[in-house]
Amino acid sequence: MNRGNEMRLFAAIMITGQCHEALAGTLEVMKQSGISGRFVPAKNLHITLAFIGTQESAEPVIDALRSISFRPFEISLSTTGMFGDTFWAGTEDCEELEALAEQVRQKLSDAGIPYDTKDFVPHITLVRRMKGSAEELTLPHSSMTVSSISLMNSEPGSGSPVYKEIALFRNTDETDAIHDNMFPQNSDKINALTEDL
């Protein structure tokens, strides 16, 4: 196996619209209030549905997720919380979101693709290694429509992680798999990807 060609994959909902604007604003408020840490760039904000991890090729994962099917639904920002020193924003309870995560994980299981099986806790990471208090921080009321999920590739880079969308899954009939000529064996294009989690 050529380890230079390995990919670090995860299936996610990328944050857009009102939610993206609200969280981008929240990040700026936190910085101005003296909170420090590794702030997640606004373009990287997402909800991980399944962390797949290291794969030599994305194609088996793309094939496994092609048949994902769901109707668009709304999610809304709710509260905030901490995982150790990682600060995150949460969403209101949403059965459709839970079902989508379960469907993604089931498709991966059916295809024999390993993934992190920790319980799904919908959250959007905002700051890692945070120093300072955000106890009085409140999230602006905002919502967004979930109409697609993305298969993302991530590689360590200088500073913040960088993500590249490998495939976009809208529903059974509308899936754009962006992998034409991307993953031939010994391709130099893999080495050019600069992604991170």
Q: Domains (ranges, CATH) in the chain?
A: 10-183 (3.90.1140.10)
Separation between Cα atoms, residue 47 and residue 14, nearest integer Å: 7
Higher per-residue pLDDT: 130 or 136: 130
In sequence order, the 6+-apart residues with CB closer than 8 A to the CB of 127 are: 27, 30, 35, 37, 38, 39, 40, 86, 87
Return the H-helix or E-strand segment holding 62: helix 59-65
Confidence of residue 169 (pLDDT cuts 50, 70, 90): very high
Ranges 3-17, 98-112, 162-176, 181-195: which has the least confidence? 181-195
pLDDT of residue 171: 64
pLDDT at residue 189 greater than cutoff 60: no
pLDDT value at residue 35? 94
pLDDT recorded at residue 96: 96
CA distance 141 to 47: 18
What does 85-142 look like in DSSP terms, one character per residue? TEEEEEE---HHHHHHHHHHHHHHHHTT-----SPP--EEEEEEEEES--TT--PPP-
The residue with greater pLDDT, 1 or 13, is: 13
- As given in the structure block, the two tokens for residue 173 are 């009939």
pLDDT digits (tens, 9 = 90+) for 72-128: 999 999 999 999 999 999 999 999 999 999 999 999 999 999 999 999 999 999 999
Q: Given pLDDT bands bounded at 50, 70 and 90, which one contains residue 173?
A: very low
What pairs with residue 124 in β-bridges? Answer: 89
pTM over 0.75: yes
Rg (CA), the chain: 17
| Maximum average pLDDT range among 44-48, 138-142, 183-187, 188-192 | 44-48
- pLDDT of 141 reads 92
